[in-house]
Structure 1
Amino acid sequence: MENTLQLRQVNVTRYILPLREGGSLPALADADDGFKYVLKFRGAGQREKALISELLGGEIARILGLKVPELVFAELDPAFGRSEGDEEIQDLLKGSQGLNLALHFLSGSINYDALAMEVDPLMASKIVWLDMLITNVDRTFRNTNMLMWNRELWLIDHGAAFLFHHSWTNWEKNATGKFPIIANHVLLKQASQLSEANEQLKVLLKSEYIDALVALIPDEWLLAAGDEEHAPDARAVYANFLKLRLSHSDQFTKEAQDARTALI
């Protein structure tokens, strides 16, 4: 397959304001293409691993037909932010020079409210399935990480996915093991068509797509944590995790169904 998966790159031109969500401190920013973005910093929280999770999680969701704001690589100039008065933000900007990740800002969007908004059962099932695949711990009632924009549901914030890469050596166990945190998923009760979602989605994420996805990860992000000495070796771990996890989709679908049964 020709690698048609690619991300645009923009240069950040203006820091507008911090979006104080959790500990990652993303920001609203302007870029040189004339658009506004939610900027995720490599110097924040889980650093480059959060950006890798964001990149892979978001683009996998897109391949599966779910709506995700456009992701772009965002270059932060070393001179950027020198006039920033907030010391915490200035330190964050200094620690994030170079290549970061940003999501297109959905102006006028509102947070998904689980108590007031219904989601189609198949759509809910697909989102639960996605989060089982990428082991995403952060789609809960506390942090739904979904937006309503133009009357459609959009997924954001996949930086807490891919739990394995925080311990690295246990990636095979994480790929085939259970994911009990799914019981906290905000859409689990509505996900009554998990079998249908599994049958539809597991054929979409082909092996060549996985290889193309992990090829997008910048070498500097892969090497930052020191888990591997060479970027291709680190990239292969992500690819092998996804392929192994995908081969166990029937099992993790059944686990999600059992968790849902316990809730209703």
Structure 2
Amino acid sequence: MTTEYFGKGDPARSLALLWRTSERASRKGKPDLSVDRIVRAAIEVADAEGLQALSMRRVAERLGVGTMSLYTYVPGKPELFDVMLDTVYGETDRSEDVPGGWRGRLEHVVRENWALYLRHPWLSQVAASRPVLGPNGTAKYDYELRAVDGIGLTDVEMDAVVTLVTGFVHGTARGAVEASQAERETGMTDEQWWAAHAPFLSRIADVSRFPTATRVGEAAGEAMGTAYSAERAFEFGLQRLLDGIEALITHRTPS
């Protein structure tokens, strides 16, 4: 799975698109295009075919227009990609009445991010080290910070907590996407793969040499029905993350 990087486009042009500081009107005789329509088509291409299929030509084909007509609105693919990211970041729910205190609010943030990755699997290919400097990315970050505001963390720790939980989602979602792709590329489900390999493994496995791996592997495989379950990893990891953050807060709160 390749990795794509945000921010490869011209900064001035990307920011102008992200914040819609200017947009040229459709020329007479041309289809009614707009930045929003182009971005939505690009997201549809990425959702259906992956980032490797995304190109200005492919987006134009989906819209039924000539490729060059897109450049009236979008300078190029890098800038388009920046706006695609910011657009999907606007999909996360930002309810203010989430029950359960800070823990409930932060769990809501994590689950919204998880759902976003499942809707748009290509997000798992995007490097998460740089922020999206658009209105939706900024609003998303602000909401996520407010989930842990006023609970005893410093500003730097608030940022670290948000980075921690969103990074957890990114990594776990990448595993889910890879598992789905493995089944699609090989034409075999995990159950079929294990069924095919089990007879050979039973002949070569040395229980006396790898007793712990054998015991734990068998227990995990029986519990999950597979060697790896992204959903179980997500649920287990989420609760352990919340437990750790709670321990940090409790440790510094006077009794």
TM-score, length of structure 2 as denominator length? 0.31
Structure number with higher strand proportion: 1
TM-score (norm. length: structure 1): 0.31
- The structure richer in helix per residue is 2
